[in-house]
Amino acid sequence: MAFEGAAATGTAGLAMAIAVRHTSNRVMQPTFASPSDTSPVEMSDLLSVPEFEEHARRCMPAMAYEFLASGAADENTLRWNREAFDRIRLRPRVLQDVTNVDTSVSLFGRTHELPIILAPIAYHRALHPDGELATAQGAAASGTTWVVSTATTTTLEDIAGVATGPLWFQLYVQPDPEITKDLIQRAESAGCEALCLTVDTPVQGARDRQARSRFALPAGVTTPYMTQLASGRPLNDTRRGFVVTWNDVEWLRSIARVPLLLKGILTAEDAERAVAAGVDGIIVSNHGARNLDTLPATIDALPEVVQHIGGRMPVLVDGGIRRGTDIVKAIALGADAVMIGRPYCYGLAVGGAAGVRRVVEILRTELQLAMQLMGRGSLREIDSAALWSPPAR
């Protein structure tokens, strides 16, 4: 997505025709439509990500849930993203010493407690009144890195003010290079440790279900980096078809002071171009199945990219990850880490910062249990031998 991993990040008009404006750093309290179920829920009572989604569906305004949960067109890819994981069978080893398991991974000079990154998703204050501030707090409490979306409804400075954990920033290249440069400098000044350039959205997909819900931002919620009225220069509206090319990638690499990852790579050919452009990492993503329907599931596309990259840079994958066993499968197929989008946003909608933290805790526990039951004491021990047979295509 930027949304799920391509988690539904947006640019001006990306999600729908919404008027947005540049505001001060003051956070206004949004006005929400009434959800169907506002009964409180104890976070510890929720034992899985699917349970969080069901509670989110009941407690969120219908149009906010449709924005978060929907995909493109007939939603074939959305369905395949999940089904592809279910087809993969695990191959355990017994009588191994798994008293302790090591779930840590090193990416770009930082050791992460888990191979989980929280993917960029737009409009967090449409999901919960505390929005991105709650996400930052929940991510830090769970020991995970969060990628802030260009379509954040809270300024980077305000997010950095409450964040005690690492941040990355998701970027859309803008028609005006100076605006792009300014966004990068703001992100770097706020302490973002990496840039994730979304490369799969020259135009937005046919998001029929979202359009049918008439999704709109709640009253009082704006996106500070979608429009800059002070300069009179609009940011990129993907409905107008502003095209980003490999030349832009090379330019970004020349000005960014932090690692640059490309989000939205699915093929060996594009992976090779990424290497040639000098980027630092690849995110195998189909934008949370929100752009082009009938793309393959990302877990099915992952092996081609991994085999072509050959360890030259980190490869992450997003899309459809709902269980700790899904993380094991992604690592076994060559991913260095995974991104989750919708799951932590369901947590945000249900319980704010505590919900974000609880979703990650669930996946942490499931990952640890899966590794112990698989007889693998560390992520380094998870490879293709952990799979019963190559997944059916």
Note whether residue 302 is domain-resident. Answer: yes
Residue tagged 């030259």 (tokens): 312
In a domain, 154, yes or no: yes
What is the rounded distance in angstroms from the CA atom of residue 265 to the CA atom of residue 274? 9
Q: Is the pLDDT of residue 361 over 60?
A: yes
Task: Establish if 251 belongs to a structural domain.
Answer: yes
The tens digit of pLDDT for each residue in 321-342 reads 999 999 999 999 999 999 999 9
Residue 184 lies in a domain: yes
DSSP strand pairing (227-228 vs 233-234): antiparallel
Q: What CA–CA distance (Å, rounded) separates 85 from 322?
A: 9
In the chain, the percentage of residues whose pLDDT exceeds 90 is: 78
Q: What is the pLDDT of residues 163-217, one digit of tens each?
A: 999 999 999 888 889 989 999 999 999 999 999 999 999 888 999 999 999 999 9
Q: What is the mean pLDDT of residues 287-303?
A: 97
237, 202 Cβ separation under 8 angstroms: no
DSSP letters for 58-77 = HHS-HHHHHHHH--STT-HH
CA distances from 349 to 35, 137, 156, 308 (A): 11, 14, 21, 39
pLDDT at residue 142 above 60?
A: yes
pTM listed for this prediction = 0.89
Q: What is the pLDDT of residue 143?
A: 97
CA distance linking residue 215 with residue 61, whole number of Å: 10
Chain-centroid distance, C-alpha 345: 10
Write out the H or E segment, with its range, that includes residue 282. strand 281-284
Task: Render pLDDT for 280-292 as a digit per residue (tens, 0 to 9).
Answer: 999 999 999 999 9
181 occurs within a structural domain:
yes
In a domain, residue 391? The reply is: no
- Establish if 42 belongs to a structural domain: no
**What domain range is 112 assigned to?**
59-386
Catalytic residue list: 287
| CATH number of residue 311's parent domain | 3.20.20.70
Between CA 316 and CA 336 the distance in angstroms is: 6
Given this model, what pLDDT does residue 173 score?
Answer: 87
- Distance CA(354)–CA(257), nearest Å, equals 33
Domain count, the chain: 1
Taking 80 as the threshold, does the pLDDT of residue 157 lie above it? yes
Tokens of 165: 């954990």
pLDDT tens digit sequence for 18-74: 222 223 333 334 444 455 566 778 999 999 999 999 999 999 999 999 999 999 999
Phi, psi torsion values for 234, nearest 5 degrees = -70, 145
| Domain membership flag for residue 30 | no
